[in-house]
Amino acid sequence: MSLDPQANPSLGLPAMSRRVRADREREYHVELVDDLLGAGVDRLTSELDGRRALVVTTPTVHELYTSRLVDALRRHNETISTIVLPCDEATKNLDKVKTLCEQAIESGLDRRSVIVGVGGGVCTDLVTMAASWIRRGIDYVRVPTTLMGQVDAGIGIKGAVNFGCKKSYVGTFYPPQSVIVDPAFLNTLCARHVRCGIAEIIKIALACDARLFELIESHGWRFREIAAHTDSAELREIIWLAIVRMLEELEPNLHEDRTLERVADLGHTFSPMLESATGFRMHHGEAVAIDMAISAALAHRMGWVDDASHERILTALIDVGLPVWSEHATLELCWHAIEDAAVHRGGQPNVVLPSGIGEADFVRRVEGICRNDLEAALRAVERRAGDGSAHD
């Protein structure tokens, strides 16, 4: 308590105040496992530790996997409930979070209980939000079943929903108890969702790991036939390296309160508005790929990357079947995205551009980007897109 007679001289009374530390130390575990639906189920059972749990999943994942997983868990713990929640980016909203909270009440969850999210990025977003709300915060476990979830959306501490016309406008930072990654879930993932996950792997490789980028160039084809390669050493190495690099970038600033500069935001300057412009018909990974192509072309135009590196970036995206251009990526939309980023980041857009393979830097002022350069970059990407690589 501070007693300072000078603090309130007009009344001649001491000021009374006390500073309270509100820090909360917390850590979580991210692990690559095998056979979670078989012998490896003990890994998840140990996380639940006999506590009442609610397993949240989506219809497709439930049909393919979760029904078996829940049956295996119930052999050790009869207090497990399940909710199958249809969810996608277009309906990722507060109503879905409310539905989960209502189910938590019906399932009798208390402060010691656990929520388990088994699904893609939208599912784990909703679970994170609900877990942070229920009883002001209960434990939850993420089991991402999509490639994007396993290397990006499912391994951090953020959860968010769309609000109004803004993507992920309402959200929270709330760490999970653990994240369990099993590449076997990718066996049944459709090609489009696989490509979306590769976009995030290329993003982190381009931003900070040249060796990972080279692995993608050499072995990215394995993702086209992922069902036959989920147990391959090369594919698992790519997935694990992507996870580690992403966590290394996130950990020093997990709550994004130390700096608003994050190289992991590469590919996320124009992509949110692209998704919104298509009514979320364009998937997140596709928008990130187009964003990276534009960012690479802009960096090339500004002299940040040489001809060879620029071509490698575009080739890597195209070779795995990702789009690099969309008619929605207009000059007006892209320029507005830069200005909007500045509004929400204290006046600095912090646009992330590649400065080489495995390196990235920031444009910290709107004035640092010439509108003519951006227009030329967009034209260059459109010309390079070619047949089959554009996206509506």
Distance CA 168, CA 202 (A): 22
pLDDT digits (tens, 9 = 90+) for 125-162: 999 999 999 999 999 999 999 999 999 989 999 999 99
Distance from C-alpha of 320 to C-alpha of 59, rounded to nearest angstrom: 28
What's the pTM value of the predicted model, to 2 decimals? 0.88
Name the one residue in this structure whose structure tokens are 């992920």: 168
pLDDT digits (tens, 9 = 90+) for 81-95: 999 999 888 889 999
The 10s digit of each residue's pLDDT in 180-194 is: 999 999 999 999 999
- Over residues 365-384, the mean pLDDT reads 95
Q: What residue ranges define each of the domains in the chain, with the CATH number in brackets? A: 29-188 (3.40.50.1970), 191-391 (1.20.1090.10)
The token pair at 330 is 């207009």
Return the SS3 of 31: strand
**Residue 329 pLDDT > 80:** yes
What proportion of the chain, given as a percentage, has pLDDT over 70?
95
pLDDT digits (tens, 9 = 90+) for 292-314: 999 999 999 999 999 999 999 99
Q: From CA 249, how far away is CA 85, in angstroms rounded?
A: 31
- With contact defined as beta carbons under 8 Å apart, do 55 and 118 qualify? yes
